[in-house]
Amino acid sequence: MHRRALLAGLALPAVARAEAWPSGPIRIIAPFPPGGSVDTIARLLVPALQADLGVPVVVENRSGAAGALGTGAAARAAPDGSSWVLVFDSHATVNALNPSAGFDARRDFAPVMLVATAPMLLTTPAGRSWRSVAELMAAAKARPEAITYGTVGAGSLAHLSMEVLQQRGGFKLTHVPYRGGGPLATAAIAGEVDLAIASRVGLGGQVGTRLRALAQTGARRSPSLPDLPTIAESGFPDFDAEAFWGMLGPAGMPAPVLARFHAALAAGLAEPVVKQRLVEGQGVDVVASSPAEFGAFLDRQIAQWGRIVRERDIRAD
C-alpha cells in the first residue's frame, strides 16, 4: 500500500503544477521597442489575459538584434508558464541571418498560436509625388539607388519583399533599416525616407494622413483597405507577403499549461472590443490558430524566406 502511494505521488507533481498554473505573474516578452506592432498587439491582449487567468500579465520590451535578444531570453526561460514571447515575422529569418543567434527558431520553442496576419503597406510621405507602384518604378529606374525605403530591420519580411520586388521589376532602391516599428514610423512621418513598408499597425496609424499608401503586399485586398491595390495587381503576379504575429513559449512547456494559455488567448481574441481594436484599429486579420497549425505555418515561413536570404546574400544589421 505504501509503495503504491509513493508511485502515485511521483506521477502527480507535473499534473498538479499544471493544474495550479498560473500561480504568479506572467510576462510576455516583446522583442522590439515600444510603439511598434509587437508591443501594441501584446498590450491590447493584456487586459483580457489578466481577467481570464487571474494574475498580473506584464509586457517586457527587450529589443535588440532584430528581435533576437528578447526572443533568446524567452528560449532560455524556464518552461513553467511564467514567460512567453510574441514574435514578429522576423522570427522566420533569424537563423538564416544570424547563425550565432544562440537559439533555434523552431526547436527551442513551443508554438502556442498564430495570433494575426496583415498585409504590409508600401507607403510614401504625403509630400512625395508618387501615387502608384508604376510611378515609383519609373522614378527608380531614372535614378537608380537614389530613392530610399525604410523597414523594421535587415532580413525582415518587409526587407525581403522589397528585394524580391526590385529583382522582378528591374530597379534599385537604397534600404534604410530601423530598429523596430516605432523608430520606422517616426522616421517615415518625418520624411527621413522616401518610402516605408510595414503593416498598418507598424506605421503608427499615420496611413491616410501623413503617409500615402501605394499598394499592399497580400495576395488579395484586405477588407480594411478595399480600395488599395495589391502589388500583384500592380504588375507583379503571384506576389504575396504578409506580416505575422505569433505567441511562443520555451520548449518543454507542460501540455496542460500551454493549452490553458492558448485558451485564454483565444478567449481574449474573441472578445468584440479586442477584435475591433485589432481589426479596425490596427488593420490586422485575427487568426487565433491552434498550436499545431502555428508550428506548420512557421515551418513554411522559415523555408520560404530563409531561401531568399541565402539567394540574395542578405546580412543582418
The DSSP line for 73-111 is HHHHS-SSSSEEEEEEGGGGTHHHH-TTSSS-TTTTEEE
Identify whether residues 113 and 30 lie together within a single domain. yes
Identify whether residues 62 and 114 lie together within a single domain. yes
Q: How many Cα atoms sit within 13 Å of 305 on the Cβ side?
A: 29
138 inside domain: yes
Identify whether residues 146 and 229 lie together within a single domain. yes
- Residue 165: the pLDDT is 96
15 inside domain: no
Query: CA dist 73 to 32, 62, 67, 98, 228, Å?
Result: 13, 9, 10, 16, 39
pLDDT at 59 over 90: yes
- Residue 19: the pLDDT is 67
3-state SS assignment for residue 120: strand
pLDDT at 9 over 50: no
Mean pLDDT highest for which of 13-17, 25-29, 284-288, 312-316? 25-29
Query: Residue 198's domain is classified under what CATH number?
Result: 3.40.190.10
Domain end position, chosen among 234, 263, 295 = 234
Identify whether residues 204 and 129 lie together within a single domain. yes
4 inside domain: no
Query: CA dist 237 to 12, 121, 229, 240, 301, Å?
Result: 57, 17, 12, 9, 20
- Residue 4: the pLDDT is 46
Identify whether residues 138 and 227 lie together within a single domain. yes
Identify whether residues 88 and 229 lie together within a single domain. no
Q: How confident is the model at residue 201 (pLDDT cuts 50, 70, 90)?
A: confident
Residue 87 in contact with residue 67, Cβ under 8 Å?
yes
3-state SS assignment for residue 23: coil
Range of the domain at 161: 119-234
Average pLDDT of the residues in 48-64: 96
CA dist., res. 133 & res. 235, Å (int): 9
Percent of the chain with pLDDT over 90: 75
Identify whether residues 141 and 224 lie together within a single domain. yes
Give the type of residue at 64: G
CA dist., res. 117 & res. 293, Å (int): 14
76 inside domain: yes
pLDDT at 10 over 70: no
Identify whether residues 129 and 187 lie together within a single domain. yes
Strand boundaries in 107-241, DSSP class E: 109-125, 148-151, 174-177, 195-199, 211-216
CA dist., res. 128 & res. 278, Å (int): 29
Query: How many domains are there within the chain?
Result: 2
User: What confidence tens digit (pLDDT) does each residue in 214-271 have?
Assistant: 999 999 998 878 999 999 999 999 999 999 999 999 999 999 999 999 999 999 999 9
- Residue 8: the pLDDT is 46
Domain end position, chosen among 234, 262, 278 = 234
pLDDT at 182 over 90: no
306 inside domain: yes
